Amino acid sequence: MNFKCQNAQLFVPDGLPAEQALRRTTHMAIAAHQDDIEIMAIEGILVCFQQPDTWFSGVVVTDGAGSPRDDLYKDYTDEQMRAIRVVEQKKASIVGDYAAQALLDYPSAMIKNSAHKDPIDDLQALLRVARPEVVYTHNLADKHPTHVAVALRVIEAIRSLPEAERPGRLLGCEVWRDLGWMLDEDKVVFDTTAHESLQAALLGVFDSQIAGGKRYDLATMGRRKANATYFASHAVDVMQGMATGMDLTPLIQDPSLDIQEYVQSFIERFAGDVRKLIGNVQ
Ligand SMILES: [Zn+2]
């Protein structure tokens, strides 16, 4: 695979040639930063883990240079930080048994500027070889601008593919803002009950972020527990862990759909629900 950025790479944990490794993919996550995949797309990792016929591939779009740092890493330069985050992402791909892990190495600023088309070309090249059935990316109501920009680039890349080459599902996942506010019937529910210790291991390899002062490991496992318990107020817990997603599939099936209006429709249904409930009990 030839990517546009000089230091971009495709890492294959089991050492197969790049295209052969990628062609196995059934589930793919495309995320902004190193560690986002393991926070948001755990369903895909778990569905594929140690299975002969399903394979998970990860794509990290940015270079991870600007992350906060502390503890062991407090004197690291941006370059050293970038290098350690690449190593951490490769470690996660080994722990999680991924088919392949792409690291596209774009500066955040370039992803947030839609005039830059190189990221779209790289994403299309990956999608064309991998042909995933399911793609996970950031949800469009995330509060991190780079996350939302990645989701928009993913939609653009998929929309430009011939219809027959588009994935069957595109799901927007939780990182910087969970989706608890969405109506339950609008949520895509991911069961994360299985392999709890593997989930913890996948989050734990990102030591530069966790020691950097953010307990993403505890927060993510806690969010999965909270989602499972707070999902349905009148039923017992049927899952021990849950992540939720926003279904973005209609946006890739119908490229004429307006992205802003599509997201606003979820927010409007939420607003209507709050209005109705207060009206019912006052
Ligand atoms: Zn991120």
What pLDDT is recorded for position 30?
A: 98
74 SS3 class: coil
Kindly give the residue spans of alpha helices, DSSP state H, lying in the chain.
18-23, 36-40, 42-48, 78-95, 108-111, 118-130, 145-159, 196-204, 207-210, 216-230, 249-253, 259-281
The tokens describing 109, both together, are 């600023």
262 SS3 class: helix
What pLDDT is recorded for position 109?
A: 95
What pLDDT is recorded for position 1?
A: 86
The tokens describing 134, both together, are 């399911």
Distance (Å) from CA 17 to ligand 1 centroid? 29
Distance (Å) from CA 31 to ligand 1 centroid? 7
* Of 77, 111, 100, residue with least CA distance to 29: 100
The tokens describing 196, both together, are 């709890």
β-bridge mates for residue 190, sequence order: 243
Cα(first)–Cα(last) distance of the chain, in Å? Answer: 61
What pLDDT is recorded for position 170?
A: 98
* Of 94, 117, 119, 92, residue with least CA distance to 32: 119
What pLDDT is recorded for position 74?
A: 85
> 10 Å Cβ neighbour count for 44?
29
Distance (Å) from CA 182 to ligand 1 centroid? 21
Distance (Å) from CA 192 to ligand 1 centroid? 20
Distance (Å) from CA 282 to ligand 1 centroid? 41
What pLDDT is recorded for position 88?
A: 96
Distance of alpha carbon 204 from alpha carbon 207, whole angstroms: 6
Distance of alpha carbon 32 from alpha carbon 61, whole angstroms: 5
Distance (Å) from CA 236 to ligand 1 centroid? 33
What pTM value is reported for the model? 0.97
What pLDDT is recorded for position 112?
A: 97
Distance (Å) from CA 104 to ligand 1 centroid? 14
Amino acid code (one letter) for 150: V
pLDDT in tens, 214-252: 899 999 999 999 999 998 776 777 899 999 999 999 999
Distance (Å) from CA 107 to ligand 1 centroid? 13
Distance (Å) from CA 59 to ligand 1 centroid? 12
List C-alpha distances in Å: 78 to 45, 55, 215.
29, 33, 21
Task: State CA 199 to chain mean position distance.
Answer: 15
β-bridge mates for residue 138, sequence order: 173
Q: What is the pLDDT along the chain (282 residues), one digit of tens a residue?
A: 899 999 999 999 999 999 999 999 999 999 999 999 999 999 999 999 999 999 999 999 999 887 777 788 888 888 888 999 999 999 999 999 999 999 999 999 999 999 999 999 999 999 999 999 999 999 999 999 999 999 999 999 999 999 999 999 999 999 999 999 999 999 999 999 999 999 999 999 999 989 877 899 999 999 999 999 998 776 777 899 999 999 999 999 999 999 999 999 999 999 999 999 999 999
Distance (Å) from CA 40 to ligand 1 centroid? 10
pLDDT in tens, 93-110: 999 999 999 999 999 999
Distance (Å) from CA 33 to ligand 1 centroid? 4
* Of 216, 258, 41, residue with least CA distance to 135: 41
On average, the pLDDT of the chain sits at 95
Percentage of residues in the chain having pLDDT higher than 90: 88
Distance of alpha carbon 278 from alpha carbon 155, whole angstroms: 36
